[in-house]
Amino acid sequence: MSMSLPYAEPLVPREPGERVVPEPPRRGDPGGPPCSICGGETTGPVWSDDNWTLHPPVGGSLPGTVWLASRVHADSFNDLPEPLRADFGRVVARIERAILSLGGFARVHLYRWGDGGAHFHVWLIPRPLGMVEAAGMMLPLWEEVLPNVPDEELAAAAARVAAAM
């Protein structure tokens, strides 16, 4: 398998910027903007249970991508209540099976970035079948440069994921 960057060579390394300490507060942090997930300012869930909500993205290029958020406002795996940590694998496995059941995907990648907001959420991004250059850590880079599809298409695909769960 030959994964590759979605950019033409040569790429030129650069030095990182100055460190910012303390770091600025994120959405949902004390002193930061309000949590958009708690405030209902995100896309509406296509599926939910007592612990989790599943949402379609906006401005994306890969239909079938969804993001999963905890109902409780917790920052990280470490901050989730134990019952949610125990339930996480069960629900992610259901979502992965549902995404793969749509067809046309080789793998589903699970990503958690904690820099945008302080509410626990993870992204499940399907790698299109045969798109080996986007394997592994390259998938989110390719997702950023591929042309976006209409948000309605992303929402419809997320609804199909929810129905398959």
Render pLDDT for 7-66 as a digit per residue (tens, 0 to 9): 888 888 999 999 999 999 999 999 999 999 999 999 999 999 999 999 999 999 999 999
In 3D, which of 64, 70, 108 has the Cα closest to residue 87?
Answer: 70
In 3D, which of 80, 79, 82, 92 has the Cα closest to residue 49?
Answer: 92
Quote the CA–CA distance of 67 and 26 in Å, as a whole number. Answer: 18
Render pLDDT for 128-152 as a digit per residue (tens, 0 to 9): 999 999 999 999 999 999 999 999 9
Give the pLDDT of residue 11: 86
Helix then strand then coil, in percent of the chain rounded to 5, is 30, 15, 55
Average pLDDT over residues 123-127: 98
